[in-house]
A and B are shown apart, each in its own frame.
Chain A
Amino acid sequence: MSELQLRWNAIYALFLRETKVYFREKERIVSILVSPLLFLFVVGRGLSGTSPVPATTYEQFIFPGILSMTILFTSVTYGLYIVWDKRLDFLKEVLAAPISRSTMFVGKSLGGMVGGIAESAVLLAIGEAFILRSSLAALATALLLSALVAFATVNLGLVIGARMRSMEGFGLAMNLLTWPMFLLSGALFDLSKSEGWLRLAAYLDPFTYCVDLMRKALLGWSLFPPAWDLAAVLLFAAGGMALGIAAFGTLSQAD
């Protein structure tokens, strides 16, 4: 078999493993949907905020952001689970396998996307039933975009997971990274009416562009030109991938 074929088989193996494991842990699939649903139906309906997008409700306005958040949280949690793997099981088998670390990273990364995409599909279905009135094409675009956002955020999670030594860092990473990324992204409010410092922070937050692009797909409205958004998201994904491959290069079994 050619080198390329070998590499592809290994990536497929890792992808398959993650997919199977994901769909076998049903509790995780359900539990991760709780907070987005709370956001949508409690915050979205209870806060009765206003939407800067013409002819949309506040619920509809925050939906793309909540959708992106779900992917972010799923992905980062997945990445951090590597720490768990380090202690337990399968990682040792993978670390000992005749595959390069970049192959390993890509396999893990693709495998991790499954979760985010699946959650996104469920949420889009719920959204379409109760909140959105998007066209099928818009929903399909959003799902496609979910894959990209999942890829970018999984890479981020894997970078942290590979660097982290113990599970104690888990809460820390979630609180210091994912919550600020989500809240600063303008998922819940109109950035253009925000104070200067907040706007600056949002511009520096790569997740802002994910949310903005998702809004464009579902509501046909975005703060930035979609091409900028897309470029920023791609940059975010590529940066995460480069950092991830570097981090995986030094990854070893916890002693």
Chain B
Amino acid sequence: MSAAAAIRASGLTRRFGAILAVDSIDLEIAEGETFALLGPNGAGKTTFISMLCTLTRPSGGTAVVGGFDVARESLKVRRTIGIVFQEPSLDDLLTGAENLRLHCLLYGVPPREIDGRVERMLRTVGLKGREGERVRGYSGGMKRRLEIARGLIHRPRILFLDEPTLGLDPVSRRAVWDHIREMKAAEGTTVILTTHYMEEADGLSDRVALIDRGRIREMGSPEELKRRVGGDIVRLRGRVAPQDFAGLDFVREMTIDDGGVRLAVDDAPRRLKALLDRCPAASEVEVRRATLDDVFLKFAGRPLKNGENAPRADEESR
């Protein structure tokens, strides 16, 4: 493999009966990159990464992960990767520390290193002091953190995170992000994550792919994608009309909004003064930076967060 590619998929396809869950995806992810797959539930994100993790057999196409073919060299692929599943996969009759130790043994961590790694990892995810308790008694957030610790403890070169912070409170979520960043800085780990949290994709990843109905609809850095939807949104209310802004090259789109005008603007904070000069009678102004949600809305033709895709209720309080 070329030194630069951690993952290379070509024409990767998975059918479940008549349903095309993943429809011929071509993708290359560089070593050390953080790559986010963004899309609603059922878009094919999980199936796509299951194929890369050798858990689901492709119906067509090929994928090379860490230099190994997912279909023919699955054990080698598995030694290279770490996985944090969307669904819980902890053993709840065992304690937190036991879950980590067993994982180390399964993934070939040298036995004399195990205790030290478990200790460090427990500190990192803030579970030190609770490691002797059975997982059955953990809260949803603690379980999630333990799973993330488990996915990292064998120091994989490539880490797959399927909805890593689903159901976490904002503080724990931030802690997880920080940890992912630290680990990347220290080990140069390649990270592939699926999410439907915009800020997660935006803040963590170098590149984002919007995936919907089994296909990649759009791909690029978060900034690039936001530029492609036409930048930031400025809403003006009061006595304003679209013709006020004629001739401004940084205004990409103008629409009449209820009681005012809605503009799509490149780099709104810097252009705001120029805009306001054109409409001195405006009574109200609202600036919203473009988000990946806008990107998704534009390219998939529907908002990412519709009712059924809304994140699950926080489980921390359970």
- A residues with CB within 8 A of B: 1, 6, 9-10, 12-14, 16-17, 20-21, 24-25, 89-90, 92-100, 252-253, 255
Contacts and interface: CB of A to CB of B under 8 A. Distances in A.
Contacts of A99: 75, 106
B94 A92 contact: no
B89 A25 contact: no
20 contacts: A1-B110, A9-B108, A10-B106, A13-B106, A14-B106, A21-B91, A21-B94, A89-B88, A89-B90, A92-B85, A93-B89, A93-B90, A93-B106, A96-B83, A97-B78, A97-B106, A98-B79, A99-B106, A100-B75, A255-B16
Interface in B167-189: none
B85 A9 contact: no
Interface string B99-111: 0011101111011
Contacts of B101: 13
A221 B78 CA distance: 52
B90 to A, nearest CB: 6
A9 B78 contact: no
Interface in B48-76: 53, 55, 75-76
Given A95-B55, A253-B55, A13 B105 contact: yes
A218 to B, nearest CB: 34
B78 A1 contact: no
B108 A21 contact: no
Contact size range, B: 20 to 34
A78 to B, nearest CB: 14
Contact of B91 (A12, A25, A90): A90
Contacts of B85: 92, 96
Contact of A17 (B76, B83, B102): B102
B120 to A, nearest CB: 20
Contacts of A16: 102, 105
A9 to B, nearest CB: 5
A25 B92 CA distance: 12
Given A6-B108, A9-B106, A93-B106, 4 more contacts: A9-B105, A14-B106, A89-B91, A97-B106
A96 B88 contact: no
Contacts of A93: 89-91, 103, 106, 150
Contacts of B110: 1
Interface string B204-232: 00000000000000000000000000000
Contacts of B53: 96
A101 to B, nearest CB: 10
A175 B4 CA distance: 58
A14 B94 CA distance: 12
Contact of A90 (B55, B79, B83, B89): B89
Contacts of A95: 55
B26 interface: no
Contact of B92 (A17, A89, A252): A89
Contact of B78 (A17, A98, A255): A98
Interface string B274-296: 00000000000000000000000
B62 to A, nearest CB: 20
A93 B85 CA distance: 9
Contact of B55 (A10, A17, A96): A96
Given A9-B111, A100-B75, A94 B106 contact: yes
B121 to A, nearest CB: 16
B102 A13 contact: yes
B94 A97 contact: no
A97 B150 CA distance: 12
B87 interface: yes
Contacts of B91: 17, 21, 89-90, 93
Contacts of B98: 20
A90 B105 contact: no
Contacts of A17: 91, 94, 102
A157 to B, nearest CB: 19
A4 B91 CA distance: 26
B127 to A, nearest CB: 17
Given A20-B98, A89-B88, A98-B75, A12 B93 contact: no
Contacts of A252: 55
Given A16-B102, A92-B85, A253-B55, A98 B90 contact: no
